Amino acid sequence: GEWVYRFGGGKAEGGAADVERLGGKGAHLAEMASLGLPVPPGLTIVCDACTHYFNSGRSLPEGLKQEVLDGITAMEELTGRVYGDTARPLLLSVRSGARASMPGMMDTVLNLGLNDETVRTLAVDSEDPRFAWDSYRRFIQMYGCVVMGLDHEVFEEILEDEKAKAGHEYDTDLCAAEWQEVVQLYKHVIEEELGEIFPQDPHLQLWKAIGAVFASWMNPRAATFRMLHRIPEEWGTAVSVQAMVFGNLGSSSATGVAFTRNPSTGENALYGEFLVNAQGEDVVAGIRTPQSITEEGRLASGSEKPSMEKLMPQVFAEFRAICTRLEAHYRDMQDVEFTIERGKLWMLQTRSGKRTTKAGMKIAVDMVEEGLITKEQAVCRIEPPSLDQLLHPTIDPRVERHVLGSGLPASPGAATGEIVFTAEEAVHAEEEGRKVILVRIETSPEDIHGMNAAEAILTTRGGMTSHAAVVARGMGIPCVVGAGSMRVDLRNETLIGVGGVTLHRGEVITIDGSSGQVLRGAVPMIQPALSGDFAKLMAWADETRRMAVRTNADTPQDARAARDFGAEGIGLCRTEHMFFEGERIHAMREMILAEDEKGRRAALAKLLPYQRSDFTELFSIMHGLPVTIRLLDPPLHEFLPKTEAEIEDVARAMNMPPAFLARRIDALHEFNPMLGLRGCRLAISYPEIAEMQARAIFEAAVAAAKRTGEAVELEILVPLVSLRAELDYVKGVIDRVAAEVGAENGSPIAYLAGTMIELPRAALRAHVIAETAEFFSFGTNDLTQTTFGISRDDAAAFIPTYQRKGIIEHDPFISLDFDGVGELIQIAAERGRRSRSDLKLGICGEHGGDPDSIRFCENVGLDYVSCSPFRVPIARLAAAQAAI
Minimal CB distance to Mg ion: which residue?
782
171 assigned binding-site residue: no
574 contact, one of ligand PEP, Mg ion, none, CB 5-8 Å limit per kind: ligand PEP
The catalytic residue among 28, 52, 392, 467 is: 467
Q: Least separation, in Å, of the C-beta of 611 and ligand PEP?
A: 17
Q: Least separation, in Å, of the C-beta of 810 and ligand PEP?
A: 17
Residue 109 contacts residue 213 (beta carbons within 8 Å): yes
Question: Which residues face 414 on adjacent strands?
Answer: 512
For 841, residues 6+ apart whose C-beta sits below 8 A from its C-beta are 775, 776, 778, 829, 832, 833, 860, 861, 862, 863, 864
Residue 518 contacts residue 404 (beta carbons within 8 Å): yes
The H-or-E segment that residue 495 falls in is strand 494-496
DSSP characters over 279-318? -HHHHHTTSSPPEESSHHHHHHHT--SPPHHHHSHHHHHH
Q: Least separation, in Å, of the C-beta of 785 and Mg ion?
A: 8
Q: Select 30 or 572, whichever has its Cβ closest to ligand PEP.
A: 572
Q: Least separation, in Å, of the C-beta of 633 and ligand PEP?
A: 6
Q: Select 514 or 784, whichever has its Cβ closest to ligand PEP.
A: 784
| Residue 392 falls in the annotated catalytic set | no
Residue 458 contacts residue 438 (beta carbons within 8 Å): yes
Q: Select 32 or 756, whichever has its Cβ closest to ligand PEP.
A: 756
Instruction: Report if residue 848 touches Mg ion, rule: CB under 5 A.
Output: no
Q: Select 415 or 562, whichever has its Cβ closest to ligand PEP.
A: 562
**Cβ neighbours, 10 Å, residue 424:** 13
- Binding string, residues 828-847; x marks residues near ligand PEP by CB under 6 A: ----------------xx--
The H-or-E segment that residue 416 falls in is strand 414-420
Q: Select 458 or 572, whichever has its Cβ closest to ligand PEP.
A: 572
616 contact, one of ligand PEP, Mg ion, none, CB 5-8 Å limit per kind: none
Q: By C-alpha distance, which of 87, 78, 133 is closest to 111?
A: 133
Q: In the window 739-758, what residues touch ligand PEP (CB under 6 A)?
A: 758
Question: Binders of Mg ion: how many residues, by CB under 5 A?
Answer: 3
Cβ-based burial of 87 (10 A; exposed 0-12, middle 13-18, buried ≥19): exposed
The one among 574, 623, 637, 761 contacting ligand PEP by CB under 6 A: 574
Q: In the window 735-794, what residues touch Mg ion (CB under 5 A)?
A: 758, 779, 782
Phi, psi of 405 (to 5 degrees): 170, 175
780 assigned binding-site residue: yes
Q: Least separation, in Å, of the C-beta of 336 and ligand PEP?
A: 47
882 contact, one of ligand PEP, Mg ion, none, CB 5-8 Å limit per kind: none
Q: Select 516 or 779, whichever has its Cβ closest to ligand PEP.
A: 779
Q: Least separation, in Å, of the C-beta of 282 and ligand PEP?
A: 53
Q: By C-alpha distance, which of 171, 424, 359 is closest to 281?
A: 171
781 assigned binding-site residue: yes
Please give the Cα distance from 332 to 353 (Å, whole number): 8
Q: Select 31 or 782, whichever has its Cβ closest to ligand PEP.
A: 782
**Would you state the torsion angle of the CA atoms of residues 640, 642, 645, 648, taken in this order, to the nearest 10 degrees?**
30
Q: Select 474 or 820, whichever has its Cβ closest to ligand PEP.
A: 820
Q: By C-alpha distance, which of 839, 858, 853, 21 is closest to 385?
A: 853
Q: Least separation, in Å, of the C-beta of 841 and ligand PEP?
A: 14
The sign of the CA dihedral 248, 253, 259, 265 is positive
Q: Least separation, in Å, of the C-beta of 650 and ligand PEP?
A: 25
470 contact, one of ligand PEP, Mg ion, none, CB 5-8 Å limit per kind: none
For 585, residues 6+ apart whose C-beta sits below 8 A from its C-beta are 579, 639
Q: Is 720 helix (H, G, I), strand (E, B) or coil?
A: coil
Q: Least separation, in Å, of the C-beta of 844 and Mg ion?
A: 8
Strand 334-341 to 89-90 pairing: unpaired
Cβ-based burial of 19 (10 A; exposed 0-12, middle 13-18, buried ≥19): buried
49 contact, one of ligand PEP, Mg ion, none, CB 5-8 Å limit per kind: none
Please give the Cα distance from 40 to 37 (Å, whole number): 10
The catalytic residue among 50, 323, 573, 844 is: 844
Please give the Cα distance from 121 to 80 (Å, whole number): 15
Q: Least separation, in Å, of the C-beta of 792 and Mg ion?
A: 9
844 contact, one of ligand PEP, Mg ion, none, CB 5-8 Å limit per kind: ligand PEP
- In 584-735 the beta strands, taken as DSSP E runs, fall at 626-630, 713-718
822 contact, one of ligand PEP, Mg ion, none, CB 5-8 Å limit per kind: none
| Residue 323 falls in the annotated catalytic set | no
Phi, psi of 350 (to 5 degrees): -140, 145
**Cβ neighbours, 10 Å, residue 396:** 12
Q: Select 263 or 719, whichever has its Cβ closest to Mg ion.
A: 719
Order of strands across the sheet with 237-243?
Answer: 11-12, 4-8, 42-45, 237-243, 92-98, 108-112
* Residue type at 380 in one-letter notation: C
Q: By C-alpha distance, which of 145, 174, 176 is closest to 162?
A: 174
- Binding string, residues 769-798; x marks residues near ligand PEP by CB under 6 A: ----------xxxx----------------
Residue 592 contacts residue 639 (beta carbons within 8 Å): yes
Question: Binders of ligand PEP: how many residues, by CB under 6 A?
Answer: 10
**Cβ neighbours, 10 Å, residue 127:** 10
Q: Least separation, in Å, of the C-beta of 576 and ligand PEP?
A: 8
DSSP 8-state secondary structure symbol assigned to residue 241: E
Residue 442 contacts residue 468 (beta carbons within 8 Å): yes
Q: Select 181 or 782, whichever has its Cβ closest to Mg ion.
A: 782
For 526, residues 6+ apart whose C-beta sits below 8 A from its C-beta are 393, 394, 395, 396
780 contact, one of ligand PEP, Mg ion, none, CB 5-8 Å limit per kind: ligand PEP
617 assigned binding-site residue: no
268 assigned binding-site residue: no
Q: Select 146 or 757, whichever has its Cβ closest to ligand PEP.
A: 757
> Annotated binding site: which residue ranges?
574, 630, 758, 779-782
> Annotated binding site for Mg(2+): which residue ranges?
758, 782
What are the residues binding ligand PEP (CB under 6 A)? 572, 574, 633, 758, 779-782, 844-845
> Annotated binding site for substrate: which residue ranges?
574, 630, 758, 779-782
Active site residues: 467, 844
What are the residues binding Mg ion (CB under 5 A)? 758, 779, 782
